[in-house]
Amino acid sequence: MINKVDIDHFLKLSENLPIIDVRSPGEFAHACFPAAFNLPLLNNEERAIVGTTFKHEGNQTAVIKGYELVGHKFADYIKHALKIAPNKKVNVYCWRGGLRSNIMAFVLHTAGFEVNLLQGGYKKYRHWVLETFEQPKQIKIIGGKTGSGKTYVLYELEKIGQQTIDLEGLANHKGSAFGSLGQAPQPSVEMFENNLAMQWCKVNQNETLWLENESRMIGKVRIPPKIFDAMRLANTYDIEASLEERINHIAKDYGIFDIQLLDDCTKKLEKKMGNLRMQQALDLLYANDLKAWIFMLLEYYDKSYLFSKEQRNPETIIAVPAAQKNYQEIAKLLLELQNK
């Protein structure tokens, strides 16, 4: 059976059924429906051949060429699909819900699969992603200078049942010159948006959503403009940890990395710190004076944070006295302050 379904029905079905993306490996690697499996009807080279044929010889010749390229692989498609969906129920999409997904749906249908085919394909899904970011949420921001433990407080809020989205976790980046250390490669901007939309749509708009304070860019990915603008207008709970606590926090998180990696990241700050200050920082690093190295870097990061803070409406900034408090205590304090 082949069921042609709209995006809302497809999303609902995808909560329990595997998803097969039949686009080329190149398309899939750039961005896809989260958790999808790639079972390409055409590989990258074959897709290029069909595209060139269509351009120079028209649609009918391109379709025939496509069948010439894939016809002998039908059995392999079925074998791979059985590994993905042994119960023979699966969701399928291509770029526009056209020939590629229809061919795959037909092949799997003949093998006894029940196939849910996304009308409009991945393109329709992308429209849904961007429309999802239009949904307003009751955002509250966790702010604070570098090393104040914002991410850990976010985790504690999640543990006690608060709605949170870890933007840095989705971006595979901690949002500084050192943010890529220990992280997997960053997704494309498009894939970041796809993953974010899947969480954004599940947030109850009648309850608080906690986000960590971020710049517009997290490494190489960009926060969607609609969400970033809302973040800038939201109340910010500014965690005020002591300088010593912040230095110790950073030393614990980054002191585990190879000195050459820390050297490379420090050099990224040369234009902003100046050559002399950067070299002084590197000298401290190689002298194994980690805390002095961190102190010097914080001179730059603190100035940057204060400048960003000044761009906000001061009436939306709530001080959170956090000295000598652990992350769990700070999370509970945030909840107390938001209810005042």
Where in the chain do CATH 3.40.250.10 domains reside? 2-130
Q: Give the residue with greater pLDDT, 151 vs 67.
A: 151
Give me the amino acid identity at 48.
Answer: A
| Maximum average pLDDT range among 34-43, 226-235, 305-314 | 226-235
- The architecture of the domain spanning 2-130 is 3-Layer(aba) Sandwich (3.40)
Which one, of 227, 216, 221, 228, lies nearest residue 187 by Cα?
221
CATH code at 135-338:
3.40.50
Where in the chain do CATH 3.40.50 domains reside? 135-338
State mean pLDDT over 271-288.
93
**Is 94 within 8 Å of 100 (Cβ atoms)?**
yes
Active site residues: 94
| pLDDT at 63 exceeding the cut of 60 | no
The pLDDT value recorded for residue 60 is 64
Report in angstroms the alpha-carbon separations of 110 from 2, 62, 132.
10, 24, 36
The pLDDT value recorded for residue 176 is 87
pLDDT digits (tens, 9 = 90+) for 160-169: 999 999 999 9
